[in-house]
Amino acid sequence: MSELRKLTTALGEPGRWTFAYVDGPGPDPRVEEEAKQDAVRRRLSDSGATDAAVDAVMSCVTRATGMPAPSARYIAARDDDVVVDAAFPEPRVGPEEIGTAALPPLLPMLRHGAETAGYLVVEAARDGAHLTWGRADRQPEALDDVEGDADALSKVRGAGLAHSRYQRSAEENWKANQSEVAEAVDRVVRERQPAFVVIAGDVRARQLLQEQLAPASREIAVEVDAHTAADGTDDAALDRAVTEAIADRIEGRAAAARDRAAAADGERGARGTEEVMAALQQAQVETLLLDVRLWESDHTLDALETQPWVGDGRNLDVGVVGRVSAPEALARAALLTDARVLVEEDEPVGEDEPRRLGEPDQPLAALRWSAG
């Protein structure tokens, strides 16, 4: 279960939350890292968190993640029990969030962890492949090493019938090896349903593997021009490919949600806080798009103890957990009704472009069924 799913499951249950969204361990000397951790502990205590809750959160903050710096951590405990302990292989996005409240902040997890669905990385070689399972909030997990026949792997340069036979034999060997890899990849795709499959490694091995994948695997495959097993190479190209694949998937989902919301003259969408809130109260939202700049507004809504999960102060005969920012309340209600939540970042179009100014885009929801 992803960390975001764990958090969602706990959001509808009563309890007091203690949380820390901070930088992960860095390259600083140990004494400086310990000073940073002490500062987090003090801020948690000053916020009114219980000693047990502080200890629970700090036990995670001080634990090594194995991720290279820079990285980010998000820990959330309900009462005294840790619900989420997520580490992200990228810098912290936005300010630190440290304290205790009726609800934990959702924005950090939504920004880092919206795409916590797993992905498969295949590093193909002529004699097999190395398979790794990855997820944005966890260290990669080595799955399998597929070892094929290592005989006659190198093609022989030259001429004549003997050389031709060697070449054909090597090609058939590569093809047979990648057939075994394809079977392993297809099995992981069936069993784990990754968001995408990144294929790196030897150029010819990648080609042969792609040709033998099942259609379901080939459809989500992203080929990367990175020969990770070659001497002197590093994982930078592979890491960039994974990051780009995640970003492309988010952008594709956002575009699909906009198209769906605009279908049937807009009857498949809800726009603005009031319309979106009403749709969420009916569990009608399939995908919710939120501009990150909405969190800068002072607009608040009620987070409710049970369905319909979100309100605006009107009498719904439902207890109120707390008054929170409107995007937090909408996002919580969306998660609790099994809707997808996408946060659209306010990033410049080009490297030299300034931050986009103006009013944030209003909440937009693609609906499960027509509003009409």
Say if strands 285-291 and 364-367 run parallel, antiparallel, or are unpaired. Answer: antiparallel
Give the model confidence (pLDDT) of 139-155 as tens digits: 677 787 887 765 544 44
pTM comes to: 0.77
Average pLDDT over residues 16-38: 94
* Segments making up each domain of the chain, as ranges: 3-113, 119-233, 250-367
Say if strands 138-147 and 97-101 run parallel, antiparallel, or are unpaired. Answer: unpaired
CB 209 within 8 A of CB 124: yes
DSSP string, 127-158: TEEEEEEEETTEEEEEEEEEE---TT-SPPPS
CB 341 within 8 A of CB 114: yes
In the CATH hierarchy, which fold is given to the domain comprising 250-367? 60s Ribosomal Protein L30; Chain: A; (3.30.1330)
More confident residue, 116 or 365: 365
Confidence at 2, pLDDT banded by 50, 70, 90? confident
Poorest-pLDDT segment among 102-106, 279-283, 317-321: 317-321
CB 245 within 8 A of CB 196: yes
Nearest C-alpha neighbor of 308 from the set 327, 286, 334, 287: 334
Give the model confidence (pLDDT) of 193-208 as tens digits: 888 899 989 899 999 9
Residues in the chain: 372
User: What are the C-alpha distances in Å from 47 to residues 97, 104, 179, 262?
Assistant: 11, 13, 58, 44
Look at residue 173 in the predicted model and tell me its pLDDT: 84
Confidence at 113, pLDDT banded by 50, 70, 90? low
Look at residue 146 in the predicted model and tell me its pLDDT: 84
Give the model confidence (pLDDT) of 230-276 as tens digits: 544 556 777 777 777 777 777 888 898 999 999 888 899 999 999 99
Poorest-pLDDT segment among 78-87, 115-124, 206-215: 115-124
In sequence order, the 6+-apart residues with CB closer than 8 A to the CB of 191 are: none
Under CATH, domain 119-233 is a member of which superfamily? eRF1 domain 2 (3.30.420.60)
Looking at the predicted structure, is the pLDDT value of residue 123 above 50? yes
Average pLDDT over residues 296-301: 95
Distance CA 216, CA 213 (A): 8
Q: Which amino acid type is present at position 365?
A: A
Which range scores top for mean pLDDT: 47-56, 109-118, 245-254, 350-359? 47-56
Give the model confidence (pLDDT) of 53-96 as tens digits: 999 999 999 998 877 788 899 999 999 999 999 988 788 999 99
More confident residue, 129 or 147: 129
Tokens 């890292």 label which residue? 33
Poorest-pLDDT segment among 32-46, 91-105, 190-204, 298-312: 190-204
Distance CA 205, CA 216 (A): 19
Distance CA 68, CA 65 (A): 9
Looking at the predicted structure, is the pLDDT value of residue 7 above 80? yes
The burial of 297, by beta-carbon neighbours within 10 Å (0-12 exposed, 13-18 middle, 19 or more buried), is given as: middle
- Mean pLDDT over each residue of the chain, to the nearest integer: 86
Look at residue 164 in the predicted model and tell me its pLDDT: 54
Distance CA 87, CA 291 (A): 24
Distance CA 351, CA 208 (A): 38
Structure tokens at 26: 């860095």
User: How is residue 93 annotated by DSSP?
Assistant: -
Looking at the predicted structure, is the pLDDT value of residue 156 above 50? no
Look at residue 317 in the predicted model and tell me its pLDDT: 87
Distance CA 106, CA 342 (A): 12
Average pLDDT over residues 112-137: 80
CB 304 within 8 A of CB 318: yes
User: How is residue 227 annotated by DSSP?
Assistant: -
Average pLDDT over residues 302-311: 96
Looking at the predicted structure, is the pLDDT value of residue 292 above 50? yes
How many CB atoms are located within 10 Å of the residue 1 CB? 8
Average pLDDT over residues 29-38: 94
Structure tokens at 69: 């710096």
Cα 110-345-339 angle, rounded to 5 deg: 40
Average pLDDT over residues 282-305: 96
Look at residue 117 in the predicted model and tell me its pLDDT: 66
To the nearest 5 percent, what fractions of the chain are helix, strand and coil? 40, 25, 35
Look at residue 119 in the predicted model and tell me its pLDDT: 87
Of the CA atoms within 13 Å of residue 128, those in its CB half-sphere come to 11
Helices (H), 224-325: 236-266, 272-281
Q: How many helices (H) and strands (E) does the chain have?
A: 10, 16
Confidence at 127, pLDDT banded by 50, 70, 90? confident
The burial of 232, by beta-carbon neighbours within 10 Å (0-12 exposed, 13-18 middle, 19 or more buried), is given as: exposed
More confident residue, 261 or 226: 261
In sequence order, the 6+-apart residues with CB closer than 8 A to the CB of 29 are: none
